Amino acid sequence: MQALLETRQLTKTFGGIVANSKIDFQIRKGEIVAIIGPNGSGKTTFYNLLTGITPSTSGSIFFEGRDITKKKPEEIAALGISRTFQNIRLFGDMTARENCLIARHCRTRSGIWDAFAGTARKRREDAENEEVVDRCLTYVGLLDKKEARARNLPYGMQRKLEIARALATEPKLLLLDEPAAGMNPREKDELLAMIRKLSSDGYSIILIEHAMRLVMNVAGRVVVFDHGEKIAEGLPEEVQNNPTVIDAYLGKGASADGTA
């Protein structure tokens, strides 16, 4: 089966610092792949390369067989790759609904003239956007918070709103960057159930996460980064018992039984 997304020798350097070094990576349609590694191992930089936020130094990125290495973030979003962020980046003074509507920009075709003239195309797009936003907020359980300002939502709900906003772009591939960060055990259980539902509904997912129990319970494959390099890859139980991984990551603040 052809990879949905593939990187070949993907490299990013900042001056003399190598953030990602010759990363070969694949995810197939329908997979959940977790990326783990200590802080500073290059995980978020990898996401920034995949989404066009940061240009690569060398190497290539392919999505559905198409080279997207040089594409802009909005072009990549339109192709079907969306992400959340390690640190919440919602528009705090906007409502949950407005945060999701902004994400619809990559699916909007009407222009300034359509807005001024109130064309049929603009009316159709507005109605479609509202429908998609309602569907995404319902998916994460926030429809009743539709008109609440993002900054006034509890932390766990803000995390869910980030996922709703990512879904509003109509992605094929979701990149979740530490979605469980700061969540309590109940919220983590809800997140686990949501990730499983996303997978069953056809979304492919790359997950950066430090909550090892969540990773081991949801990922079909685990990739390990350390100092910008991919040092291991395999099934969760294989990675869990890999001495190199335990030494580089699981032995520092976590254990081989998946606790964190």
CA–CA gap between residue 149 and residue 98 (Å, rounded): 9
Burial, 77: exposed, middle or buried (Cβ in 10 Å; 0-12, 13-18, 19+)?
Answer: buried
Return the C-alpha torsion angle 18, 209, 28, 237, nearest 10.
100
Q: State the residue for tokens 């976590």.
A: 254
pTM attached to this predicted model: 0.88
CATH numbers and ranges of domains, the chain: 1-80+171-260 (3.40.50.300), 90-160 (no CATH)
Rounded Cα gap, residues 108 and 122, in angstroms: 9
139-172: per-residue pLDDT in tens?
999 999 999 999 999 999 999 999 999 999 999 9
Mean of the per-residue pLDDT values of the chain? 91
Beta strands in 106-203 (DSSP E): 173-177
Task: Please give the Cα distance from 251 to 242 (Å, whole number).
Answer: 11
Q: Which residues of 211-235 are buried (b: 16+ CB within 10 A; e: fewer)?
A: bbbbbbebbebbbbbbebbbbbbee
How many Å apart are CA 7 and CA 222, to the nearest integer?
16
Q: Residue 246: what pLDDT?
A: 83
Residue 256 has pLDDT above 60, yes or no: no
Average of per-residue pLDDT across 109-128: 74
Name which residue leads in pLDDT, 118 or 77: 77
Q: What is the pLDDT of residues 228-255, one digit of tens each?
A: 999 999 999 999 888 888 887 655 544 4
- What pLDDT, on the 0 to 100 scale, is given for residue 122? 75
Ramachandran quadrant class, 144 (left: phi over 0; alpha: psi -120 to 50; beta: rest): alpha
Average pLDDT over residues 39-48: 95
Res 258 pLDDT > 60: no
Q: Which residue has the higher pLDDT, 149 or 88?
A: 149
Neighbours of 247 (CB within 10 A): 12
CA 99/CA 165 separation, integer angstroms: 6
Amino acid at 80: G
Q: Is the pLDDT of residue 64 over 50?
A: yes
Radius of gyration of the chain (CA): 19
Question: pLDDT above 70 covers what percent of the chain?
Answer: 92
Asked whether 260 and 213 are in contact (CB, 8 A), the reply is yes
61 contacts 68 by C-beta, under 8 angstroms: yes
Is residue 76 within 8 Å of residue 68, measured between CB atoms? yes
Question: How does pLDDT run across 175-233, given as a tens digit for each residue?
Answer: 999 999 989 999 999 999 999 999 999 999 999 998 888 999 999 999 999 999 999 99
How many Cβ atoms from other residues are within 10 Å of residue 162's Cβ?
Answer: 22
Does the pLDDT at position 51 exceed 80? yes
Decide if pLDDT at 13 tops 80: yes
The confidence score (pLDDT) of residue 116 equals 65
Spatial distance between the Cα atoms of 206 and 221, rounded to a whole number of angstroms: 10
Long-range contacts of residues 63-72, Cβ cutoff 8 Å, at least 24 apart: 63/4, 63/5, 63/173, 64/2, 64/4, 64/5, 64/172, 65/2
> What six digits make up the tokens of 255?
């254990």
